[in-house]
Structure 1
């Protein structure tokens, strides 16, 4: 399976973005994302879930170094 597209909207350097994109790109479900983020020390928990419509939601996670990970789910 091809990795999911990941956008670098924070303009991180390639050295910071590439390893993160390699991990996040393997998340084929929100379960994978939650397992990875909640398994970190300290845990990264969602700050918010925003309903876009009845089928789509964005999950916002604060990430170290002042960045945010946003998962758009349908």
Structure 2
């Protein structure tokens, strides 16, 4: 079975990176991914990657958007399929 990876990246509002990371870690999805990892980067960015069984266009749950005041810009999302 192919694997699709969903990447969710947000830039926190100034001084709110730790809060955004905590929020992202606390988000429960309606189904459990095969794997889920959380990352941070300079510029107060938070990245969450989830891996799911399925094709590129598989219907899998994604993390929601946090409250607008928690982020400096809209959330970016990417989808990749393992090759």
* TM > 0.5: no
More strand per residue: 1 or 2? 2
TM-score (norm 2): 0.29
TM-score (norm 1): 0.31
More helix per residue: 1 or 2? 1
Larger Rg: 2
**Which structure exhibits the higher relative contact order, with contacts defined as CA atoms closer than 8 Å and separated by 6 or more residues?**
2
